[in-house]
Amino acid sequence: MELIKENIEKIREKIHKACAKTGRDPDSVVIVGACKHNTPERIEAAYNYGIKVMGENIVQDALVKYDALKHTDIKWHMIGHLQTNKVKKILEMASMIQSVDSLYLAEEINKRASRKIPVLIEVNTSEEVTKYGTSAEQVIPMLKQIAVLENIKISGLMTIGPLEKDPCPAFKLLRGLKEKIESENIPGVSMEWLSMGMSDDYELAIEEGANIVRLGRVIFGERKK
């Protein structure tokens, strides 16, 4: 577990440097531990070293880890693609759903939720067919439809940068969308969070305005399947 501690210390140093380049407060950046394929013991170690928010891609795995770690005050985010038939289960534990990519999914969340649930709208900024997310052109029309749902709180945007090329254009596009949405002052819509950047590109994402980064391998090491 000592390696996890060392990894987190290195990450915080890099976040400080990235924030220094743009005059930002490092404390404004939330690290979400992407804990797919990690055991509750390893997740708790990361929690003990300061990672208070964890993100899961798979609902069944999330529920197991949530039950095992109920003695902590970890906040859980859904960061993977969410099927509508899994919405009810994830609402039992998630404090945020980062991967809302359609009106249909938002409507299902709204129907199943017994409280106002913060969500991020996932945007496919790289236009890769293998990625989920709405298109940049459809974000604002979709936002306006989702914003009227009483149990949904739109709190920002999320994207996954391309793996095989420079991610900066994708990050710049998401930041531009955020600024455009803010200028429209859509009722019920907040752009508090910009979730972009993972293990290979989080420093670049922070320089482009990310205040949530989703980090797995650089915290936990290579995935254990």
DSSP state of 84: G
Residue 151 burial (CB count, 10 A): 16
- For the cut 90, the answer to whether the pLDDT of residue 164 exceeds it is no
**Residues 152/109, Cβ–Cβ less than 8 Å:** yes
Q: Is the dihedral of CA 47, 53, 57, 60 positive or negative?
A: positive
**CA 208 to CA 156: how far, in whole Å?**
15
Q: 199-223: b or e for each residue (b if 16 or more CB lie within 10 Å)?
A: eebbbbbbbbbbbbbbbbebbbeee
Go through the domains of the chain in sequence order and give each one's CATH number: 2-220 (3.20.20.10)
Q: Band the pLDDT of 33: cuts 50, 70, 90.
A: very high
First to last CA, the chain: 18
- For the cut 90, the answer to whether the pLDDT of residue 25 exceeds it is yes
Report the largest interatomic distance among the alpha carbons of the chain, rounded to a whole angstrom. 47
**CA 129 to CA 147: how far, in whole Å?**
27
**CA 120 to CA 193: how far, in whole Å?**
8
pLDDT of residue 55: 98
- Kindly state the average pLDDT of the residues 140-169: 95
**CA 132 to CA 129: how far, in whole Å?**
8
Q: How many helices (H) and strands (E) does the chain have?
A: 9, 8
pLDDT of residue 222: 78
Under 8 Å CB-to-CB from 92, ≥6 apart: which residues? 63, 66
> What HEC string does 1-67 produce?
CHHHHHHHHHHHHHHHHHHHHHCCCHHHCEEEEECCCCCHHHHHHHHHCCCCEEEECCHHHHHHHHH
Torsion of CA 220, 221, 223, 225, to 10 degrees: -90
- For the cut 80, the answer to whether the pLDDT of residue 52 exceeds it is yes
Strand partners, 154: 119, 189
Mean of per-residue pLDDT scores for the chain = 95
Q: Band the pLDDT of 224: cuts 50, 70, 90.
A: low
- For the cut 90, the answer to whether the pLDDT of residue 148 exceeds it is yes
pLDDT of residue 84: 95
- Kindly state the average pLDDT of the residues 40-57: 97
Task: Quick: pLDDT tens for 107-122.
Answer: 999 999 999 999 999 9
